Structures are given as C-alpha cells and as structure tokens.
C-alpha cells in the first residue's frame, strides 16, 4: 500500500497562512506558528469590533445631535424626549445627518419642539 506524503499540502497551507499574516512585524510574518496565532487573534478582534462599531456610531450620532441641539438652545435629552412624545419617526442616524449636512431642517425640528413646549414627560402605558 502506498503512503501519502503531505509535504505539498502542508506547504500550500502554510503559504496561505503566511499570506494572511502579511503586514505583521517580526516572527508573525515569517514563521508559521506565530502567524497562525496572529491570524486567529485578528479574526476574533474583527468579529468583536464589527459589533462594537454599532455602538461607536451611535455615540457619534448622539454627540453630533447634542452639539447641534445645544446651539439651538435645547439639550439632547429634552429634544429626544420631545420628538418621541410628538411621534416624530426620525432615528439618531438621520438626525445626526441633518445636523451636519442640513442644519436648517434640523433647526426646524428643534423650533417645533420649542414652539409646542413639549416637555419630556414619560408616556403613560
């Protein structure tokens, strides 16, 4: 019975792994075992940070809305509570986009909140 020599397959596997580890420094770029560890860690960080990105964008949107609303004389929390009470269906992403790119429309919503004197009262359920 003939035996299987795995040199070619192992070499191919190692080349693929070292290709994934391109751009790393030191042994992680040249040696298989450290390159494998670096690739595993990189994939786990990428998975974790794809989820963390959502929270980072939400924090960015909140900061932008807060800055624009305070310029108009309303705090972020009061603005959001008033918009929720008035059933305005705009989410933070759209509000932040308006605050940066179209301040007139954003100011219009803030003025509506001011005119109606909608207070941040919790909805009764």
DSSP of 62-109, one letter per residue?
HHHHHHHHHHTT--HHHHHHHHHHTT----HHHHHHHHHH-HHHHHHH
**Total structural domains in the chain?**
1
Q: Distance (Å, rounded) from C-alpha 69 to C-alpha 19? A: 49
2 lies in a domain? Answer: no
123 lies in a domain? Answer: no
Task: Express each pLDDT in 77-124 by its tens digit.
Answer: 999 999 888 888 899 999 999 999 999 999 998 988 888 765 545 555
Predicted model pTM: 0.75
Name the residue range of residue 38's domain.
7-116
38 lies in a domain? Answer: yes
What confidence tier does 1 reach under pLDDT thresholds 50, 70, 90?
confident
31 lies in a domain? Answer: yes
Q: Distance (Å, rounded) from C-alpha 87 to C-alpha 13? A: 57
Q: Distance (Å, rounded) from C-alpha 76 to C-alpha 66? A: 5
CATH number at residue 86: 1.10.1900.20
106 lies in a domain? Answer: yes
pLDDT at 123 (0 to 100): 56
Q: How many Cβ atoms sit within 10 Å of the Cβ of residue 24?
A: 16
């Amino acid at each position: 019975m003939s035996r299987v020599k795995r040199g070619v397959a192992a070499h191919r596997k190692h080349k693929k792994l070292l290709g994934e580890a391109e751009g790393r420094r030191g042994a992680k770029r040249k040696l298989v075992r450290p390159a494998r560890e670096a690739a595993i860690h990189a994939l786990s960080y990428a998975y974790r940070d794809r989820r963390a990105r959502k929270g980072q964008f939400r924090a960015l949107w909140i900061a932008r809305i807060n800055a624009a609303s305070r310029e108009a004389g309303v705090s972020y929390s009061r603005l959001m509570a008033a918009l929720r009470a008035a059933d305005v269906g705009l989410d933070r992403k759209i509000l932040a986009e308006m605050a940066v790119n179209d301040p007139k429309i954003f100011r219009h919503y803030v003025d509506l909140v001011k005119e109606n004197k909608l207070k941040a009262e919790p909805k009764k359920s």
